[in-house]
Amino acid sequence: MEPKKMKMRSEGLAVFYQQYQALRGIDMNIAANRVTALIGPSGCGKSTFLRTLNRMNDLVEGTTIKGQVYLDEVPIYDKEVDVVGLRKRVGMVFQKPSVFPMSIYDNVAYGPRIHGIKNRSHLDEIVEKSLKAANLWDEMGSRLNSPANRMSGGQQQRLVIARVLAVDPEVILMDEPASALDPISTAKLEELISELKKNYTIVIVTHNMQQAARVSDYTGFFLSGALIEFNTTSELFVNPANRQTEDYITGRFG
Amino acid sequence: MAKNKWYDRMITAAFWSAGLFIVLILASIIAYIAVKGISAISLDFILQPPSRAGRAGGISTTIVSTVYLTLMSLLIAVPVGVGSAIYLQEYAHSQSRFGRLVNLIAETLAGIPSIVFGLFGFVFFVVFLDLGWSILSGSLTLAIMILPTITRTAQEAILAVAHEYRENSLALGASRWQTVSRVILPSALPGIVTGIILSIGRAVGETAAIILTAGSSLGMPIAPSDPARTMAVHLYLMAMEGISAERAFGTALLLVILIVIINYLANLSLKRFSQAVR
C-alpha cells in the first residue's frame, strides 16, 4: 500500500489505572481516511487505547497517562489542550447504542446545539446531511419528531453515528459498535463504515476478526497491554509476522 | 408439582391481601374523614376567614397560609437540594471528603424529629435573627426539614440515569454542565419530582415546628414577615382545645383534597414535560 498521510500518532503511550498498567508504551500511526482495526482478547488494552485518542480516559478516576498522542502532529495531552475541542474533532461511537431520551431530530441536533448553532434552517440542514451520511434518512426522514428510543438497535447505532457526524469530526472512534447488533444491522453498519472512510479517519475496536478483515485497511493486534503487531490488514491476516498474532487470528486462543 | 402450584397460589394470595390491607386502611381513613367532615364544608367554609378562634366563619386564611408556606419552603429547598445532589453525583469525586461529609449530614438531618427543627427554627430564625413568628421563619425551618429528602431522592434519580448518556454527551464535546442540564436532569426529573411531592406532604402535614416558627395567627398572611396558621395547625388546635370536632374534620378533609390536587398537578406537569422532551 502507498504511504499515507498520518492523522493520529501515539508515542510511548502508557496508561495506568491506579497501580494496574493497562497499556505498555504503544507507538502507532493512524492513517488519514483509512479504517484502522484494533483486535485482541478481552482486557488486552485495545479499548483503553481507543479511549486515549479522545481523552475519554480522563473521566475515569485514578487514571494516569504517560507518553503522547498527536492529532495532525499536535500533542493532545498538553496542558493547554482544550478537551472539548478535541472531542469535537475526534468523535466516538460506543459499544451499546445509547440514544438520548429525545426525538430523532434532537438527538442529531444535540452536538451542533451545544456548539452554539441555533439557526433552525442551519440545524435542519445538518440533521438531514448527517442522517443521509449515516444511511438513516430514507428510513427516518419522515419521522424526525418521533422518540429515538423506539427505533431498533441497528437504527439506534446508526443514529448515534449520525449524531457524531453532526459535530463534523475528523476522526471517528468506534468501540465494538456491532457487538449488540443482529447480522443484518451489522452488515449495514459495515457498509456504512466503508462509505465513511472517504471523509473520515476511522479507528474501530472489534472482537470479530472477520469484521476486522472486511472493513479495515490496517490492523493492530494487542495482547496484555502491548501492541504485538501492526500492519496492513491483508498482510497481518495472511502473513502474520508474530507467532502470538497467528495463534490469535487462527483462533487458538482469545 | 401440584403441591408447588398450590403453595405458589397461597403466597400470591398472601401478598394480594397485604396490598388489599393498605388499600382498606387508606380508604377507611378517607371515608371516615369524609363522613365526619363533609357537613362542615361549604363554599363559605373555604372562602371565609375564621372568626371567634375558629368557632365560626371559614378557613380561607389557613388554606392560603398552607400554600404560601409550602411554596416558600420549596422555593428555598429545591434549588439547594437539587443543586447539592448534582454536585455530589456529577462534580465531586466519589472519594472526596467534602462529598462524604455532605452525604453524612443529609442522612443525619433526615432522621432528626421535626420538633427539633422547630426548636432550632424558633431559637435561630424567630429569636436570634429576629424574624419573629412569620412565613419566612416557618418556611426556612420547613426548608431545612425537607432538604434531606429532596437531596437524597434527587441523588438517587441522578444516579439512576444511564452512565452511557454521560459518556456520549461528553464524547460529543459537551461540557459537564451542558451534559447535566440537557441530558441528565431531564432524565432524572421524574425521580426528583417524586422527592418534591414527598416533601410537600411533609411540609403540609407539619404542626409543632410551624407553631414554634410561624405562630398560629388566624389573620391573612400577605408579606413573608406576617405570622400564619396552616390547616394542619388549625386542625390540631381545634381538636386539641375542643373548639369544634366537625370543623376539625372539615379542615382535615380539605387538607386531604389539597394534597391530592397538589400530587395530581405535579404528575400532570411531569407528564407534559416528559412528552415535550421525548
Q: Looking at residues A77-93, what average pLDDT do you find?
A: 91
Instruction: Give the one of B93, B173, B278 whose C-beta lies nearest to A88's C-beta.
Output: B173
Can you give the CATH number for the domain in which A107 is found?
Answer: 3.40.50.300
Mean pLDDT of chain A: 90
Q: What is the pLDDT of residue A1?
A: 46
Distance CA A5, CA A80 (A): 26
Q: Looking at residues A66-84, what average pLDDT do you find?
A: 91
Q: What is the pLDDT of residue B104?
A: 87
pLDDT in tens, A188-238: 889 999 999 999 999 999 988 889 999 999 999 999 999 999 999 999 999
User: Residue B188: is its pLDDT beyond 60?
Assistant: yes
User: Residue B58: is its pLDDT beyond 60?
Assistant: yes
User: Residue A2: is its pLDDT beyond 70?
Assistant: no
Confidence of residue A79 (pLDDT cuts 50, 70, 90): confident
Residue ranges of chain A whose CB lies within 8 Å of a chain B CB: 54, 56, 59, 61, 84-85, 87-88, 91-92, 94, 96, 98, 100-103, 110-111, 114-115, 147, 160, 163-164, 167
Provide, rounded to the nearest whole percent, the portion of chain B with pLDDT above 70. Answer: 97
Three-state DSSP state, A145:
coil
Assess contact for A10 and A219: CB atoms under 8 A: no
What is the number of domains present in chain A?
1
Interface contact flag, B182 A92, Cβ < 8 Å: no
Q: Looking at residues A72-92, what average pLDDT do you find?
A: 91
pLDDT in tens, B62-99: 999 999 999 999 999 999 999 999 998 888 877 778 88
Distance CA A220, CA A192 (A): 21
Residue A1 lies in a domain: no
pLDDT in tens, A129-177: 999 988 889 888 888 999 998 898 889 999 999 999 999 999 999 999 8
**Cα B274–Cα B276–Cα B278 angle in degrees, nearest 5:** 65
Distance CA B102, CA B3 (A): 53
Instruction: Give the one of A61, A84, A160 whose C-beta lies nearest to B173's C-beta.
Output: A84
Distances (CA, A) of B195 to A232, B113, B148: 57, 18, 10
Distance CA B175, CA B210 (A): 43
**Cα A52–Cα A169–Cα A160 angle in degrees, nearest 5:** 85
Q: What is the pLDDT of residue A165?
A: 93
Q: Give strand pairing partners of A125.
A: none
Interface contact flag, A102 B278, Cβ < 8 Å: yes
Q: Which residues of A touch B186 (CB under 8 A)?
A: 101-102
CB atoms within 10 A of CB B186: 19
Q: What is the pLDDT of residue B278?
A: 47
Chain A's closest residue to B186, CA to CA, is A101
For residue A175, the enclosing domain spans 6-249
Residue A183 lies in a domain: yes
User: Residue B1: is its pLDDT beyond 70?
Assistant: no
Q: What is the pLDDT of residue B276?
A: 57
Residue A254 lies in a domain: no
Q: What is the pLDDT of residue B277?
A: 53
Interface contact flag, B172 A164, Cβ < 8 Å: yes
pTM for this one? 0.80
Write down the ipTM of this complex.
0.87
Residue B189 to chain A, least CA–CA distance (Å): 12
C-alpha cell at B156: 438517587
Q: Which residues of A touch B277 (CB under 8 A)?
A: 101-102
User: Residue B182: is its pLDDT beyond 80?
Assistant: yes
Assess contact for B228 and B138: CB atoms under 8 A: yes
Q: Which residues of A touch B188 (CB under 8 A)?
A: none
pLDDT in tens, B110-167: 889 989 999 999 999 999 998 989 999 999 999 999 999 999 999 999 988 888 899 9
Q: What is the pLDDT of residue A38?
A: 95
Interface contact flag, B175 A84, Cβ < 8 Å: yes
Residue A125 lies in a domain: yes
Assess contact for B131 and B228: CB atoms under 8 A: no
Interface contact flag, A111 B172, Cβ < 8 Å: yes
Q: Which residues of B touch A110 (CB under 8 A)?
A: 169, 172, 174, 182
Instruction: Give the one of A84, A87, A100 whose C-beta lies nearest to B165's C-beta.
Output: A100
Q: Which residues of B touch A88 (CB under 8 A)?
A: 172-173
The dihedrals phi and psi of B181, each to the nearest 5 degrees, come to -75, -30
Instruction: Give the one of B164, B173, B178 whose C-beta lies nearest to A98's C-beta.
Output: B164
Distance CA A250, CA A95 (A): 25
Give per-residue burial for B198-225: e unless 16+ CB within 10 Å, then b: ebbbbbbbbbbbbbbbbbbebeebeebe
* Closest to A104 measured CA to CA, from A156, A154, A146, A164: A146
Q: Looking at residues A41-68, what average pLDDT do you find?
A: 90
Residue A224 to chain B, least CA–CA distance (Å): 25
Q: What is the pLDDT of residue B118?
A: 92
